Amino acid sequence: GAVVSQHPSWVICKSGTSVKIECRSLDFQATTMFWYRQFPKQSLMLMATSNEGSKATYEQGVEKDKFLINHASLTLSTLTVTSAHPEDSSFYICSARTDSYNEQFFGPGTRLTVL
């Protein structure tokens, strides 16, 4: 099956620093990647949709200048949390899809803790 990886799997940083999370599709080319955020005991909330080579589409209420998304290639998308604050602490999950499949393949998630 299609595999999506995320790196790092967890990160702890100080308030005010920026953190970059990578999402890679390992064995297929992802035309679209999605970024989700999940707070403890809650569901996944879609943050943004990114298509290779174009600007990401952000969901209402998500600050695009704070959560920078770059979908540089068909196998890599990055999410950068700029000037992170404790309220940004969450579980960030990416998924990838290709037009060949009707299914999204999810990464294992990245646990971000901002001190």
Partner 1 sequence: SQQGEEDPQALSIQEGENATMNCSYKTSINNLQWYRQNSGRGLVHLILIRSNEREKHSGRLRVTLDTSKKSSSLLITASRAADTASYFCATAAGVGGHAGGTSYGKLTFGQGTILTVHP
Binding segment toward partner 1, per CB under 8 A, in 18-26, 54-62, 63-71, 74-82: 54-62
Binding segment toward partner 1, per CB under 8 A, in 14-22, 36-44, 62-70, 79-87: 36-44
Nearer to partner 1, 18 or 103 (CB): 103
C-alpha–C-alpha distance, residues 25 and 28, integer Å: 6
C-alpha–C-alpha distance, residues 115 and 27, integer Å: 35
Q: Which residues bind partner 1 (CB under 8 A)?
A: 6, 31-32, 34, 36, 41-46, 49, 51, 54, 57, 60, 91, 93, 95, 97, 99, 102-109, 111
